[in-house]
Amino acid sequence: MLRFDNLSKRYSERLIFQGLHYNSIAGCIALNDESGSGKSTLLGILAGTIELDAGEVWLGGHSLRSARQEAQTVLTYVPEDCITYPDQTGREYLERVAAHRNTTVDSHTLELAARFGLEPHLGKRFEQMSFGTRKKIFLTGAVLGETKVVIADEPVGGLDASGRGVLIDLFRTLAQTRTVFFSSYDPAFTQACDAKTISFADLRTQS
């Protein structure tokens, strides 16, 4: 469901990474490497928000280079700060995501929002929300439509104990039918999600 081949990225004279490969079916994968190694850059490339210098990414079988719209329709991306839409309310964000995926904000989505404790916050703008609340809104959008890939940058950051438990349940459920690819420094969270842990060294040795 998530595949990338020969990915390379450079900023000016600094080489961030090169020659990264991976091919995954359903399941949880946790990217754990040292700070400054390029984890957020890689996740942004996989989500299509950062341009790659070389290589190719496929999401649910769709090329991010030649079929970007189809690829991003099957993707949920949760960036680290989740304030991409500061003037939009939580409810408006979920409705926008649902429309993009040709679906509606159904009872299943609202149930997940309630489990995250989001009911009092759906009418707030993102700029009015706490860091953790913004992240919960984005994570709730993962159940909208027939997505194939979830990419999340430090998804557990900013969550309280209750939200952490809901997220573990969410990732374990999504991983039954989707690829969940996330970065994390938290081994207890990774283990609770039944995630496979990989590093950049692993991505450079994939065939």
Compute mean pLDDT per 10 residues along the chain, 207 residues long, and list them. Answer: 94 90 93 88 95 94 92 93 89 95 94 97 96 96 94 94 97 96 94 95 79
- For residue 20, give the CATH number of its domain: 3.40.50.300
Strand pairing report for 2-11 and 14-24: antiparallel
Tell me, what's the pLDDT at 141? 95
Tell me, what's the pLDDT at 108? 94
Tell me, what's the pLDDT at 207? 47
The number of domains in the chain is: 1
List of residues 6+ apart from 120 with CB closer than 8 A? none
Q: The domain containing residue 22 runs over which residues?
A: 2-205
Whole-number Å distance between alpha carbons of 109 and 94: 9
pTM of the predicted structure, to 2 decimals: 0.93
Tell me, what's the pLDDT at 206? 60
